[in-house]
Every structure is written in C-alpha cells, then in structure tokens.
Structure 1
C-alpha cells in the first residue's frame, strides 16, 4: 500500500488521486490552490489563541458542537479508553469565532470547501458504474450549502512526561465524514494503517495537502472507498518539546442527505458522536 503524491495541475491528476484514495484511503496533492501563506498565518495566530486563558470563554456548546474543547474533555477515539493529548476549536461559519481570528479562518474554510467540491467530482467520475449508481445524489452536491462541514483547529501541546499511560496525540481512528482535507501540520506524526496492520508515514512535507476518506463516503460507496485507520504519534527526543498545529476540514453532507438504506448524514453523525463521548 502506498499513499501517492499527485500534482493537482497534472492532466491525469483526477485519475491518479482517486486511485490513491481507493488503494490507501489517502491521497496527497501538491501545486494545489490553497495558499500556503494563509495556512502559515492561521497556524501562527491560533497557536497564540491556544496559549490564552480567554480560550475558555468559548467553551464548546454541547448541542451545537462549536467552540473550544479543552484537553480535559477532548475525544477518546472509538475503541480506546484513554483521551487523546490535544485541545481544539470547532469552526463553523455560523458559530462563535474570536473576532481577531475570523477573517483568515473563514477565508480558508471557503477555499477548502470549494476545492472539496471539485475533488468529490473527481471521486464520482472515477467510481465504477455500479458504485456511482448507488449515490443518492451527486457527491459534490451533498455538501452544497451544508451547515455541517466542520473545520477543526487542533493544538497538540508539548509533551511533559506526565501524560496518562498509553495516551498519544491522536489514537487510531477513522474519520466520520465524506472527505477530510488537511494541510500538512507544522510537525510530523501522521500515519495510516496498512491492511497487514503495519503503520506507514503519510507524506506530509510542509505545503502538501492531505486528503482522506471518511466513514460517510465508505457508507455511500457500499464499502468501495475505504475509510482507513490513522493516528498521530507522540514525538520523541527534542521533538517532544514542540507543539503541533493541524487544520482538518471535515466535509459533511447536509443533514437530510441519504448515505445508504441504513443512514442519513444526521443519523450517522449522532451515532458516532455518542461513541466518541462528546454527545
């Protein structure tokens, strides 16, 4: 299994990108349209935010799921007992965002969402006919005007040596949504699990754009596109003293979108949030 790095501007980019998604659940783009200076600015400004006590003024809303999630109430990955070593902020255009941070983060949200629609057209165009016929509507249309797509700003603090035994920055998990779009973080650590159970580093040079399949696309494609398990490992040595900032955009369909005979977006999301212990 290999995660392919694909030039977004190449003529065969859609085909090669979808082949990578099919084989590994992940694909990586270079020469993509997301400005790196915008990503840099977001990483820098939100790093400052996470070091302010005022972050607690935006404590998350249980019903809306927007706002700040502290390390104490962070996620416990499905099937795990120990919380991840992270804190994060949930950004929705309709949600609470600190005024001084809103312009850049909403600009990124818009640009990445537009790119996501294009990538979903690539996925559908290169789905086998017997898979594509099962989509209840065009994949790109599923996220059109959706209020549900979530941008998460993640802060993995430096390790102190006093972490709970067995805790890592992000335990092995699968994403809930259709696709996840992720600019490479400022520090390494992202790995994907191969079919034989081994773990492979995902290509993540600064400037790369990493995309992976979520459970909802796996559900909508009848299992054709795999939602593969991935994790963020703890660094060692001097790297353990460095924080890590990450910016995944989780593409969620509108609530009423039918994924399969069993699930709509809303029913699937509720089931998974309960498993994660945040609903």
Structure 2
C-alpha cells in the first residue's frame, strides 16, 4: 500500500491523535488551520527574498563558534554520505545573535509564535507516547526546550539554477535533522520530499498555509527509536521552474545543552557530534 501524507486539521477533535500517528508512520505531520498566520509567513518570504537578492548579507557573515548569521553557498552543508554541497544559502537567526536590525522584529515575532506552537506539539507527542516509551523521557518533552538558547530559525534561500551546478548536486540532499522537531511553513515553491518506509519518495503537501513538522535525531534518541528521524530532501525544479528561487523557513527545536536525551547523549554532546559530521565545526 502506498503511503500518503494527509494534512491534519489542527482544530479537529482528534487532531492530537491523528498528528502523532502521522509522525509515527511517516516521520512527518502536516497541519492545516493552525495558529501561525499565513500573512506573517508571506511577509517574511518577500522581505528575505529581497535581502538575499540585494541585501548586505555578507556584512553578517556567520560566526563559526556560535553559528549565527549568513552562510553563503560556498560553505553550504554537505549532507552525511554525500560529496557535493547543497545548492543553497541561508541565515541563522537566534534571538541573541546577529541580524539586520530592520529585519529583527519580524523574525522574532515569528520565532516566538512558532516556538510556542512547537511546545504544544511536543506535549502532543509525549501524551501519545506509550508508557513504555514516555517513561524513558528524562523530563517532559515540552520543557526540554524551555529557556533554550539553541532553538534555531533558519531562513533558507535556494537560488535559481544556472545550469553550471555540479553533477548530482541538488538543493538539499537526502538527510535527517539533528533536533527534536522541525516546524516548517510550506515553502513558496514545491520540492520537499520524504522517504517512505517502502523506500519510495513522497511529495510533502506544499499548499501554502500548511505547516509541516518532522522528527529529528534527538527525538529519535530520546524515544529509543519509537519516533523515527525522517530522511527528506529538496529536489531541483525542472523546466521553466529552474529560474525561480525557493525560500524556506524551518524552525529547529533544540533542547538546552544539559538536557539528557539518553544514556549515551546530552543534547550538547549529540549536537557537537552531528555538526562535526556535517563539517560546519
């Protein structure tokens, strides 16, 4: 039977159960009628499209130690197991980090709203976890991110394809996220795919207004593998769509560094291990 991803109505009586079941079965949950305002997302997309096109982005070059600021395509991530860099550039926003002051209020407002919703979704995941799984959570999932300075909002720009890209390079090669959950409003262009249990790639519903949520490695670690971290990618557009940019706005939910995920890892030790694998530290 072919797996499909169906958007869950956030306001429905069974939203919690349906959402967590989707996460468990596919690693992804898609929400509609959620509290994040579509207009706020659209405004960020248009503002940051201008910034990436003509802004003084190189004035905010990233800090290697703190990982905040602008990451040009020359230092883009190489997915684990791949040789080519992803075709993308991005800006890492933390409330404490560098950011053009004119753009900070817009991002901070979205950061606060999305983090608040994310805490609720983590509480859904915990309440729907079997006792055999939840008894191993060292603290409630939603409080793992409380007062965390590590939760990251990334403004991603996939530039138009020029035709001279490296062979086999794509916008985002198949990878898993490091964090607990990733919260992602549908991008302004399609391309996001998730790998199903049968090994086939599924298109993630990209209707503008949907909110896409996926499991990261830290939740897989904390749940003893019950919630699987999901392999996903962003494929290159074809035909005339190659001339179009793609903006994406993932919020990566990170616990405080001292949070114990398992007998093997704290959040800090796990993050450092993965950043070294990615070659960004």
Q: TM-score, normalised by structure 1?
A: 0.99
* Cα distance in 2, alignment partners of residues 90 and 103 from structure 1: 15
Over aligned residues, Cα RMSD in angstroms?
0.7
Extract structure 1 runs of 4+ deviating beyond 3 A.
none
* Cα distance in 1, alignment partners of residues 114 and 37 from structure 2: 10
Shift of 1:41: 0.5
Shift of 1:177: 0.2
Residue 20 (str. 1) matches residue 22 (str. 2): yes
**Which blocks of at least 5 consecutive residues in structure 1 are unaligned?**
none
Match of 1:174 among 168, 176, 182: 176
Q: How does 1:99-248 map to 2 (within 5 A)?
A: 99-248=101-250
* Cα distance in 2, alignment partners of residues 7 and 166 from structure 1: 37
* Cα distance in 2, alignment partners of residues 277 and 47 from structure 1: 27
Partner of 2:279: 277
Shift of 1:53: 5.3
> What secondary structure, in the 3-state scheme, does the structure 2 residue paired with 1:51 have?
helix
Match of 2:97 among 63, 76, 95: 95
The answer as to whether partners of 1:2 and 1:20 remain within 8 angstroms in 2 is: no
Superposed CA offset, 1:132-160 (max 9, x none): 00000000000000000000000000001
* Cα distance in 1, alignment partners of residues 267 and 248 from structure 2: 25
The answer as to whether partners of 1:76 and 1:84 remain within 8 angstroms in 2 is: yes
* Cα distance in 2, alignment partners of residues 164 and 122 from structure 1: 42
> What secondary structure, in the 3-state scheme, does the structure 1 residue paired with 2:56 have?
helix
**Higher alpha-carbon deviation: 1-10 or 125-134:** 1-10
* Cα distance in 1, alignment partners of residues 60 and 101 from structure 2: 12
* Cα distance in 1, alignment partners of residues 242 and 200 from structure 2: 23
The answer as to whether partners of 1:2 and 1:23 remain within 8 angstroms in 2 is: no
Residue 258 (str. 1) matches residue 260 (str. 2): yes
Number of residue pairs the alignment of both structures matches: 279
Match of 1:56 among 52, 55, 58: 58
Superposed CA offset, 1:109-166 (max 9, x none): 0000000000001000000000000000000000000000000000000001000111
Match of 2:12 among 2, 5, 10: 10
* Cα distance in 2, alignment partners of residues 43 and 5 from structure 1: 22
Q: TM-score, normalised by structure 2?
A: 0.98
